Amino acid sequence: MKKDVKKVVLAYSGGLDTSIILKWLQDEYKCEVVTFTADLGQGEELEPARKKALEFGIKPENIFIDDLKEEFVKDFVYPMFRANAIYEGEYLLGTSIARPLIAKRQTEIAKLTGADGVSHGATGKGNDQVRFEMGYLGQDSTLTIIAPWREWDLNSREKLLAYAEEHGIPIEKKGKKSPYSMDANLLHISYEGGILEDPSAEPEESMWLWSNSPENAPDKAEYIEIGYKNGDPITLNSKELSPATMLKTLNEIGGNHGIGRVDIVENRFVGMKARGCYETPGGTIMLKAHRAMESITLDREAAHLKDELMPRYAKLIYNGFWFAPEREMLQAAIDKSQEFVEGSVRLKLYKGSIMVVGRSSEVSLFNEEYSTFEEDEVYNQKDAEGFIKLNALRFIIEGKARKAK
């Protein structure tokens, strides 16, 4: 049974699917629609979305196209990278971390425009429906959530195209359509569907849009240096860059050298496995550099505890729990650990690989007086004997007990 909704904020890209949803909301719910298009650095021209919305009769004051690139990187990507977050060993969470920001802004627009509902274009099979809706509910649980893919019977490409034709929704045909379902933002671009639904099939080289293949990457290595403060990258080759500019620049550099491609089968929150391919060149560089920075500035037990917490933190983001109190608790601990993660890391990029070739910090815990293999005056090697015996004491006691039996 449909709820009575007067005004709905729709996460709107201007593409075929969300254009159909816009019209469907108008027809099925008889409600006023507010369109919200987020610029997260996906590299697409977004003004056509405004033109299309106007053609559907959306009032100019109800069309929002917001540049969220800096907020996205500064307040979502950077905190996640302080944790070195990776889901199931390989996925750098490029789509996962974008959804809570979109949901947050959508609910803000709902309040601003007096809307009583929100809507998204995620299907009933994927993770995004969870991420969007957990975000909505975490920000404003009074809003009615409309998920068309869980309500309508337009469950195939053919039905969508037929609906579009019937209702005069323009279907743009610009060259050959990609066989993949793609999603992009400043952190990554993802590919699903098509031949990727067969996990044994190798993706075509032409699928990859952001990076050279390692075979075709430059034959000469490139050195870069990233400067850190409180766990965040702030300079590249001694030049201070804003968060969004930093990530954009590293994407360009990394993509040129064939860095950041992954092909994985992941476990979705809703239960099934899914195969996806991702390009995350800048993020891959940032992860390598950040771990190198931590290696000389982070206490051993703090570093090990972070590594133990990271899978839980990454799982929370993947499953849509960005606004959950447990994620915020973990973030507070992670951010505390980054207080002295500062200095610079030098990296060598070559044909898909990233090699750390140097790291330095004024607060480095690497002390040559203690670490040297040469003669020193600060470490008595004889002390190690008692240290080893105390750590082995339980083995000694257990061994004697068993022999006596």
Does the annotation mark 268 as catalytic? Answer: no
Q: Please list, in sequence order, all residues whose beta carbon lies within 8 angstroms of the beta carbon of residue 154, skipping any fewer than 6 positions away.
A: 20, 24, 148, 160, 163
Does the annotation mark 181 as catalytic? Answer: yes
Size (the chain), residues:
405
CB 107 within 8 A of CB 136: yes
Closest CA to 331 of 349, 345, 314: 314
- 3-class DSSP state for residue 258? coil
Catalytic residue among 19, 50, 105, 128: 128
Matching residue, tokens 């889901």: 87
Does the annotation mark 128 as catalytic? Answer: yes
The DSSP call for residue 149 is G
Does the annotation mark 39 as catalytic? Answer: no
Q: What angle do CA 243, 244, 246 make, to 5 degrees?
A: 65
Classify the phi-psi angles of 79: left when phi > 0, otherwise alpha if psi is within -120 to 50, otherwise beta. Answer: alpha
- 3-class DSSP state for residue 160? helix
Q: What angle do CA 213, 219, 223 make, to 5 degrees?
A: 100
Catalytic residue among 66, 116, 181, 346: 181
How far from each other are the two terminal CA atoms of the chain, in whole angstroms? 73
Task: Tell me the C-alpha distance between 250 and 261, whole Å.
Answer: 14
Task: Tell me the C-alpha distance between 75 and 72, whole Å.
Answer: 6
- Identity at 14, one-letter amino acid code: G
Q: Please list, in sequence order, all residues whose beta carbon lies within 8 angstroms of the beta carbon of residue 253, skipping any fewer than 6 positions away.
A: 222, 224, 281, 282, 285, 349
Catalytic residue among 50, 82, 99, 359: 99
Catalytic residue among 13, 17, 190, 211: 17
DSSP readout, 56-104? TT--GGGEEEEE-HHHHIIIIIHHHHHTT--BTTTB--TTTTTHHHHHH
Phi, psi of 20 (to 5 degrees): -65, -40
Catalytic annotation, residues? 17, 99, 128, 181
